[in-house]
Structure 1
């Protein structure tokens, strides 16, 4: 009897686990994307040179404006003190209702007023470039002292006329004075606000010796108060 040939057990073949070309391409693409994303994300999140320059310019402008506000406030305080002295006398010779004044100013007194106003006009003639809000306050003070100087000049011119021609000039001078006080009050209100915005607190630089002239007046918040 012939012997049977015994075949060895068949071992199942192992699957080919080597990545295909497609899989390798995907892995390479993912790795490359991760490598690129880091630097790109950093660049996207970092300001460029122009953004840095703009930020620096704005910071410099802010510091310049704070300085200008402080200087304008000091200048306005000096002028307000001088104008209050002039106004207290003008109200005696130029009543608001057009009635004759309680007295007439002497020529030397009028010359003293004119000198004060010339100095005030020169003091406020400078117009450095600043922010819009600060420029508005500065222009308001300049307009107010110019108008006050015109009021004094008009009064002086009227005093030189015969008595029967004088009254219209005196009434005009009184109206110009009222306009000057009202203009100053607008500028003072603007100055108060920009001081608050600059962190200096409320600063009240109003004319106080001509009540009833109209315009805005200081609020009840104490000076230096924030908010």
Structure 2
């Protein structure tokens, strides 16, 4: 019995290889498109949300802003209290006549004690932002200058009568410089309060008139926050 054989290969129908290639190409293109869409979506999602570093930085900035705002509030409260203590002293020193009518040694010693207490809040200050640190440093310098004025005045009323006039005049100039230094710090304090959202806070001395001291800007208290 003869062996069955198929048709020679050259007589078999030719496979439609072109159609298959097109189909395979379409599958590849579709796969690439899906992959690109996935990668693009993932990239967009990743780019649209903060990474760990950005989140940490944002948290640090938020904490710093809260801490600085609290420091500014406390510093403003301290400045208001000190203003009530320092302003009358500087006014009295600047108005003192260089004769027997001027306040005596006992009054000058009381002023000295008041200013020593006024310096205590600045003895161990917290670390804050640059602007807040500058404000605090300005207030401290003003208190120190006021202390120098009182020391000069005490020398004037306890020293030789021949030196009283010169030392009294020196104390007056130092008191004027203390008032001017306070006014600069008060202006900076006003600005940091505005930046922190607290609005205008005017903590100027009553003795700020004259002597080149800054004065309040006229804005309503608490506005501009």
Judge same fold: TM > 0.5, yes or no: yes
- Alignment TM class, shorter chain as reference: 0.7 to 0.9
C-alpha distance 66-101 of structure 1, shift in aligned 2 (>3 A):
farther
Which residue of structure 2 lines up, in the alignment, with residue 7 of structure 1? none
Q: Does 1:71 align with 2:74?
A: yes
Please list, as runs of the form range in 1=range in 2, the aligned pairs for 1:151-190 lying within 5 A after superposition. 151-190=149-188
* Per-residue Cα deviation, 1:159-193 (whole angstroms, up to 9, x for no partner): 22212233332222222111111000000011111
Which residue of structure 2 lines up, in the alignment, with residue 3 of structure 1? none
Give yes or no for contact 1:92–1:102 (8 Å, CA) kept in 2: no
The number of aligned residues is 210
C-alpha distance 67-34 of structure 1, shift in aligned 2 (>3 A):
same
Flag the structure with higher helix content. 2
> 2: CA distance between counterparts of 1:210 and 1:45?
53
C-alpha distance 139-22 of structure 1, shift in aligned 2 (>3 A):
same
> 2: CA distance between counterparts of 1:26 and 1:225?
63
> 1: CA distance between counterparts of 2:205 and 2:183?
7
Of residues 106, 121, 124 in structure 1, which corresponds to 2:122?
Answer: 124
Q: Residue 215 of structure 1: CA displacement?
A: 1.1
Which residue of structure 2 lines up, in the alignment, with residue 191 of structure 1? 189
C-alpha distance 31-76 of structure 1, shift in aligned 2 (>3 A):
same
> 1: CA distance between counterparts of 2:127 and 2:102?
42
Give yes or no for contact 1:202–1:225 (8 Å, CA) kept in 2: yes
Deviates more, 1:102-111 or 1:63-72: 102-111
Which residue of structure 1 lines up, in the alignment, with residue 103 of structure 2? 105
The answer for unaligned runs of 5 or more in structure 1 is: 1-12, 95-99
Is the partner of 1:18 in helix, strand or coil? helix
* Per-residue Cα deviation, 1:59-93 (whole angstroms, up to 9, x for no partner): 01111111111101100000000112212321331
Q: Residue 102 of structure 1: CA displacement?
A: 7.8
* Per-residue Cα deviation, 1:73-127 (whole angstroms, up to 9, x for no partner): 1000000001122123213316xxxxx3682222211111011110101123332
Q: What TM-score comes out, normalization by structure 1 length? A: 0.84
Aligned-pair Cα RMSD in Å: 2.2
Give yes or no for contact 1:87–1:210 (8 Å, CA) kept in 2: no
Please list, as runs of the form range in 1=range in 2, the aligned pairs for 1:1-227 lying within 5 A after superposition. 17-20=19-22, 21-93=24-96, 100=98, 103-209=101-207, 211-226=209-224
Give yes or no for contact 1:125–1:142 (8 Å, CA) kept in 2: no
> 1: CA distance between counterparts of 2:73 and 2:39?
51
Give yes or no for contact 2:112–2:147 (8 Å, CA) kept in 1: yes
